[in-house]
Every structure is written in C-alpha cells, then in structure tokens.
Amino acid sequence: MSGLLDGVRVLDLTNVLAGPYCGYQLALVGADVVKVEMPGSGDLARMLGPTPALNQAKMGASFLAQNAGKRSVEIDFKSAAGKEQFLTLVAEADVVLENFRPGVMGRLGLGYERLKGVRPGLIYCAISGFGQTGPLKDNPAYDQIIQGLSGIMSITGTPETAPLRVGYPVCDTLGGLFGAFAIAAALVRRDRTGQGAFLDVSMLESALSALGWPVSNYLVSGVQPSPMGNENFTASPSGAFATGEGLLNIAANKQEQFVSVCTVIGRPELASDPRFLTSDDRIVHRYELRVLIEEALAASSAADWETRLNKAGVPAGRVLTVPQVLDEPQVKERDMAVQFEQVPHIDGVVTVVRGGFLVDGEAPRPMCRPPTLGEHNDEILAEARPPKAAAR
C-alpha cells in the first residue's frame, strides 16, 4: 500500500509518549520518521517497561510500543558539531516534532525561527503540557498531572471513589493524536501555498477539547459534571450491568432500544412502568431500573446476553481484559497486531498495535521494527546535505 505521507520526512526529537505516539501515527501512514536521540541514553522510554533486561538494553516495552517504523540517529544538541549535524537534517526535512519544555530549543539556538531560515516551509510541532504561552507554560507535566488539572479525574470513578486516574495515559495519547492531526492539516496547507507552520499543541487543551460533552453541559447549561461510575449521564439503561457471569455494557439510548431490552430479558412490563416511560423518567429512576434489569440478567452470562441484545438491535458488549480483547476474532481479522522477528536484544517476536483505521481496505502498518539507539547514524547522516551558508 502506498503510504498517505510517502515522501514526507519527520525529525522526531520527542521522549516517552505524547510526542513518540504522534510520530508513530505519522510513520504508520508512510512518513519517513527519523528519531533524533541523545547519544548514549536516547528516549527515556527505552528504559521503561516491566522487563528489566529490555530496559537495560534500551529496548523497553514502552519504547517498542510507539517507535516501530522509525529510524534512529544520535545527535548531541549541546555541541557545536551536533547542532550542525541537526541543521543538515533540517534542510531536508518537512516536519520537526519536539516535546521539550517551552524555550528549550530556542536556548539551544535551534528554535523555529532559526530552523525555518534553513528550511522555508518547515512545519514545526511543539507538544507540551500547557502550550508555549500562559502562566503554567514552564511547569513540568506528565499525563497524571494533566488528568488532574483537566477535570478528567474529577469525573472518573463513583461518587465514593472519585477522583480517579484513567487507567492509561489518556492525556499523553490525546496530545499525540492532536499533534498528528495538526501536522497533517499543515502539510495540506503547505502543498497549496508553500507556507510552513508553528504548531503549539497543549496536552491540557487537548484533554479539554476531548471532554466535549461534560464541558459543554457546564458551559451551556450550568450543569457541573460529576462522577457516575459505570453509568452514562445521558441515558438509562446505559452502563455496565452484572450478569450471571461477567459484566455487560448496555447502551439503550433510544426508546425502541429500551423496549427491546425489556423484551429480550423477559421483563416486557418494565417498558410500561410509569417510572420508566420516557428517557427523562428512566434517568430519574436509573438505580431502581438497574436493580430490576440485573435481576433478569442473572439468568445467563454476559456473552449470551451480548449476542441476544445485539441481535435485537441493542448495543451491548462484554467488559473484557486486555488479553481477552486481543484474542477476539474481530481484532484478529482486522490485523490489529503487527509482529516483528529478529529484534536485537529480544528473544522471540515483538508485537505492536497499528493505528485505528484502514485506508482503501488496507491497514497502515509500520514498515520496520523499532530501532536500536543510533542504529541508523551512518545511513541518515550520509543522506543529509549541509544547509546553505546564507541560511545560518
């Protein structure tokens, strides 16, 4: 499959997750992503993961997950020679991606103004916790900090357990996705006009944007979001329900779906119960309705109810573990997992997941395994040409 971003070169200077995840999305759709790393240490994620031997080899599981499809070159930004090497790469690049604290690249003499003098039309994407301006711009930020500040934690959990952290780095991931989207959009404009761009991606703003409904409910209607556990604040019955075996998510958001739920579980009289006649009625009496539905669901397993409810047009699905979902026929048929053999320092295969879409029926996949630190030093530097002296 021809990649959507074939011919686009990205210099990925990022560490850990938000930036590397952004670069990984670009690599999946064909960009030549060159991971520019500090000599000897590289991306901190190389030393993160549950397997000590991989961490010591600088091939930690956290690194493997976000860096397939990339090449690696070591450059010391603090040395004059390293800066010159980097500028030679910039002269041939389309995108520079970094996630340092605001101002770091400028203090190194490698900020956007300098780089666009070397490469007119350059797209420079800076991902940070709070953006390049504002009173918090210099604060260090990891995912959990942004989860707390964004309001995500305040509505995660039950009234008794909230605030809780979402179980994976959701704000890092959102920042990476927003960065990839912004880069793709900037590339489209550059193709039309030749104009580059400075993209200022804030993880906090990405999280707030993704909190569309809770934020809108407050801004428009003055309703402050609150933690509701596995309940859906927009409808009932909609949430996770106990069955005879396992939890089952049911999303009966329409009147006809609620009637179908009542029929399938053998309680048709609930559809005409005055407490549950309308959507608003069911929201008011959601916990009474839950008890009655779970009494009926106790007669069979989540897997059985999932089949029966979906057949009746009611969205329903088991609550699965990560190993269980990876073993699902749906996931396997669409080739979500990508395997690489003969990865240095690793016995057996390395498996990563691709992006969440197909292109013309085909799955965009990383075309090469995650690189060892500096694996492509000679190759990448040999490809580079020195920038014009006048641009320095």
Smallest Cα–Cα separation from 10: which of 30, 1, 18, 2?
30
Dihedral angle at the C-alpha atoms of 174, 178, 184, 186, nearest 10 degrees?
Answer: -160
Residue (of 298, 290, 167) closest to 240 by Cα position: 290
Structure tokens at 223: 């309703």
Q: Which residue has the tokens 């057949």?
A: 311
d(CA 175, CA 48): 20
The b/e string for 206-232 (b: 16+ C-beta within 10 A; e otherwise) is bbbebbeebeebeeeeeeebebbeebb
Do strands 95-98 and 238-242 pair parallel, antiparallel, or not at all (unpaired)? Answer: unpaired
Rounded-to-integer distance, Cα 25 and Cα 338, Å:
14
CB-based contacts of 111, cutoff 8 Å, min separation 6: 105
| Residue 304 appears among annotated catalytic residues | no
Instruction: Select which of 172, 200, 335, 347 is catalytic.
Output: 172
Tokens 């609930």: give the residue: 270
Torsional sign, CA 57, 63, 68, 69: negative
Catalytic residues: 172
